[in-house]
Structure 1
Amino acid sequence: MFIDHIRIFAKAGDGGNGVVSWRREKFVPRGGPDGGDGGMGGDIVLVVDNSVDNLRAYHYDPKLVAEDGKNGAGGRKTGKSGKRVIGKVPPGTVVYRSNAVTIQEAVDFERSDEGIDLEPIADLTEIGQEFLLCKGGEPGQGNWNFKTATNRTPVEHTLGTPGDQSVFYLELRRIADAGLVGFPNAGKSTLLGKLSHAKPKVASYPFTTLQPVVGVVEFPGFRRCTVADIPGLIEGAHENRGLGHEFLRHITRCRVLLFVIDMAGSEGRDPVSDLEILRREIKEYDDELARFPWKIIANKMDLEGAAENLEVFRSRFPKVDIIPISADAETGLDDLRQVLDNEIAYRPDK
């Protein structure tokens, strides 16, 4: 099961309390105060881990709760700090803080007309990157801290402070250099399988791909790039029709968008109309995304009518780079690889 967005509850540990204690030893009269401080509450930390590719773990247990700090003890003994809790997330995770503090408040907000406000607080993209999601509570002070020249028997002490807690929303946006965008059955999955070692499911019905698949394309000189197969869009995707928002979020990190068009119109569609609809859906979803560099992959050139449609297509979009290919027949792929190599490939050690 692929989970790319989820709501979780996180609660850092409370700080331990300081205590009131007195030194009581034989032959030590008026030993004075010796109450120790409490321990720090445990933090909640998110860590970017390359071995994690989605947020499925939080589907089964959507909470992160850290240990409380222990109370202090006599003999100026400081309480043990609570263990911090580490939540692993995949690279490309965006973290939002909700205005709801508890899960029940989040549910109540959803059932009301007010809705939930989400504030972006972190964008986690680098392997090993850490983010302090909830800070543990501060420890209380024992009574030995309050001893003065005029107050030899203080009974003052302080309590530990509560740890931070809130409801958070995690959203995964897949990181890839290029994103394949197109209608269902345009041939994106077949193309990715031919270009890389990725093995997306391929069939002749819409929405075969139900989750983004990232493939690595290798070039000479240890150069490479990553290409994401974004599940097929439909008209109205920006309004979340079909699975619009589930898919569109994953192309917001791509360096270039590759629009895969069925140039033969084998599904009874018009190639020119397809591109116009796709470009409009991208713009309606995110105006900034519409300004990303983009190219057209004219697929299924081995089918009848594709060559004639390509001529009409070129006249309609004369200034756009068009790369004719047939993913199924494996023609034109070398030209496409050359384009990817020239424009977005990189050495992984640089």
Structure 2
Amino acid sequence: MFVDVARIHIKAGNGGNGRVSFRREKYVPDGGPDGGDGGNGGNIVAVVDSGMRTLMDFRYKTKYHALPGEDGGKKKMSGKAAEDLVIKVPEGTIIRDLDTGKVIADLKSTGDRVILAKGGRGGKGNQHFATPTRQAPTFAEKGINGVERTISLELKLLADVGLLGYPNVGKSTFLAATTKAKPKIANYHFTTLQPNLGVVEAVKGKSFVLADIPGLIEGAKEGVGLGLEFLRHVERTKILIHVVDISGLEGRDPYTDFCTINSEVFGYSERLSTRKQVVVANKMDLLYDETEYQAFKEKVEVDGYTVFPMSAATGEGIEAILNHVTMLLDTIEDEPLISEDDYLVEELDITDLNEINFFKDGDVYCVEGQFIERVLYSTDLSDIESLRRFQNVLKTKGVFDHLREMGIEDGDTVRIFDIEFEFYA
């Protein structure tokens, strides 16, 4: 089964907790703190695998969770960091964060890899919190939660040239005649149920990848027929070969077909309207009167397109088309499919994000921000020393001063994310 769209939920591993521990040796009954740090949680990593052709694996497994880091140990022993969880994807996979709609990565080449969700940092052990006035800290940091998100994977084939046209106009026959690909060919509509790829070498030493896209019909851009499922696969192409049935044996007008398909393609993506397009009038061997071809050619050339006659069945005209396409490819530069503005920009180290947000929810004073979240969830609220450290951090960051400027009074409620406190200066 060819699957080119998938949606999965991923969660990176949580960081291990720091350890609360003290040296207890035979001749050191009251030793200092020696709690080790927690290990980092595992990342979720996507890697391109040249052996994959579809996203079918993600239809059967939709949740991926990396392992957490180990908790810190005694004697200043750090917990073991968890291994990354590797997700394999085919070449040409675009990965998006569904919450923001932004692109995380466009993975095009074998071996390309990207971190989709970063594992949480391990918490510090109590050895780090000893001071001249607090020589036996009874608290340690908790590990930070790993990043969790829902993502979409969309496969867009890596092809230089795409074949367009109504069903049964001869695209698959053309692909089979020009490459070693073996598409299913028969005289009925929608023979091609998935994109087929083949490598063409018309000029020695110069080759390109040709994709046969399943036939489009009117309304494809709205999802009619098979069109919407496969139009995405022509987005990476540099050139489109638009094949029409010049014989008209199925009762359709070739020029009307040509305009209809272009309307569907351009309606799907404005980007495709700028693609170079070579028009091929196929089934010339079935045409009794060549004036019909000449009339079609004149109409299409007025629109600025180059037209070639061809019979995919006999091979007539194929060489001229391939030579022309090879020459055109040399003049077209690569164009990025994703603009810079569409990419998701993340700060990988959230401890650097010092912005703190203040607002009121009715009578409750709310404090939020990634720095505050980092400190809160690494605090053991059941330990008085850990809680005191948390309060000192808020004081140092100016949180209390800002709340006073907002008009807070003793006894008022402060909410930090989902935890509420009573305020007392």
Counterpart residue type for residue 216 of structure 2: L
Q: Does 1:167 align with 2:150?
A: yes
Q: Mapping of 1:74-113 within 5 angstroms?
A: 74-99=74-99
Q: Output one character per residue of 1:102-154: Cα deviation in whole Å (capped at 9) or x when no partner.
A: xxxxxxxxxxxxxxx63333222232211111110111111011112222111
- 1:260-299 aligned at under 5 Å gives the runs 260-299=243-282
Q: Counterpart in 1 of 2:320?
A: 335
| Pairwise CA distance, 1:307 | 2.3
Whole-angstrom distance in 2 between the partners of 1:345 and 1:289: 19
Paired with 2:214 and 2:9, the residues of 1 have a C-alpha distance of 30
Q: 8 Å contact 1:71–1:78 — kept in the other structure?
A: yes
Residue number in structure 2 paired with 1:136: 119
Aligned to 2:186: 203
Report the residue type matching 1:195 in the other structure. Answer: T
The answer on whether the counterparts of 1:6 and 1:59 sit within 8 Å (CA) in structure 2 is yes
Q: Which residue of 2 aligns with 1:112?
A: none
The 3-state SS of whatever aligns with 1:313 is helix
Map residues 196-275 of structure 1 onto 2, 5 A cutoff.
196-275=179-258
Q: 1:161 offset after TM fit, Å?
A: 0.8
Q: How far is the alpha carbon of 1:306 from its aligned partner?
A: 6.2
Distance of 1:243 and 1:169 partners within structure 2: 20
Cα contact 2:240–2:277 (8 A) shared by 1 = yes
Gaps of 5+ in 2: 332-425
> For structure 1, which segment, 303-312 or 25-34, has the greater mean C-alpha deviation from structure 2 after superposition?
303-312
Task: Name the SS of the counterpart of 1:207 in structure 2.
Answer: coil
Q: For residues 229 and 308 of structure 1, do their structure 2 counterparts lie closer, same or farther at Cα, with a shift above 3 Å needed?
A: same
What are the within-5 Å matches in structure 2 for residues 309-324 of structure 1? 309-318=292-301, 319-324=304-309
User: Is 1:194 the equivalent of 2:147?
Assistant: no
Alpha-carbon distance in 2 for matches of 1:149, 1:29: 19
Tell me the residue number matched to 1:48: 48
- 1:220 deviates by 4.2
User: Partner residue of 2:2?
Assistant: 2
Residue equivalent to 2:107: 124
> Which sits farther off after the overlay, 144-153 or 189-198?
144-153
Q: Distance in 2 between matches of 1:344 and 1:45?
A: 34
Q: Structure 2 CA distance, aligned partners of 1:240 and 1:122? A: 26
- Higher-RCO chain (CA-CA 8 Å, sequence separation at least 6): 1
Question: What does the per-residue CA deviation read over 1:168-189, in whole Å, with 9 as the maximum and x for residues that have no partner?
Answer: 1111111100000000001000
Distance across 2 between alignment mates of 1:211 and 1:218: 23
CA distance in 2, matches of 1:249, 1:178: 13
User: C-alpha distance in 2, partners of 1:220/1:290?
Assistant: 28
Deviation at 1:283, TM superposition (A): 1.5
How many residues of Structure 1 are paired with residues of Structure 2 in the alignment? 329
Whose radius of gyration is greater, 1 or 2? 2
State the Cα RMSD in Å: 1.5
Asked if structure 2 preserves the Cα contact closer than 8 Å seen for 1:9 and 1:63, the reply is yes
Contact 2:124 2:142 in 1 (8 A): yes
Amino acid at match of 2:64: L
Unaligned runs of 5+ in 1: 100-116
Counterpart AA for 1:4: D
SS of equivalent to 2:270:
coil
Tell me the CA shift for residue 30 of structure 1. 2.3
Verify the 8 A CA contact 2:104 2:116 in the aligned structure 1: no
Q: Is the 8 A contact 1:296 1:320 kept in 2?
A: yes
Structure 2 letter corresponding to 1:31: G
Q: Structure 1 CA distance, aligned partners of 2:284 and 2:196? A: 24
Are the counterparts in 2 of residues 48 and 88 from structure 1 also a CA contact under 8 Å? yes
Distance 1:341 1:291 in 2: 18
Distance in 2, matches of 1:190 and 1:220, equals 20
Aligned to 1:58: 58
CA contact (8 A) 2:246 2:287 kept: no
- Letter matched to residue 134 of structure 2: N
Letter in 1 for 2:115: L
SS in structure 2 opposite 1:249? Answer: helix
Q: Distance in 2 between matches of 1:220 and 1:260?
A: 22
Q: Residues 28-84 of structure 1: CA distance to partner in whole angstroms, max 9, x if unpaired?
A: 242211110101000001112222111111112122211111111101111111111
Q: What is the rounded CA distance, in whole Å, between the counterparts of 1:342 and 1:244 in structure 2?
A: 29
1:277, 1:243 → 2: CA distance?
15
Assess, with a 3 A threshold, how the Cα gap between structure 1 residues 214 and 306 changes in structure 2: closer, same or farther: farther
Which residue type is aligned with residue 54 of structure 1?
Answer: T
Percent of aligned pairs sharing the same letter: 43
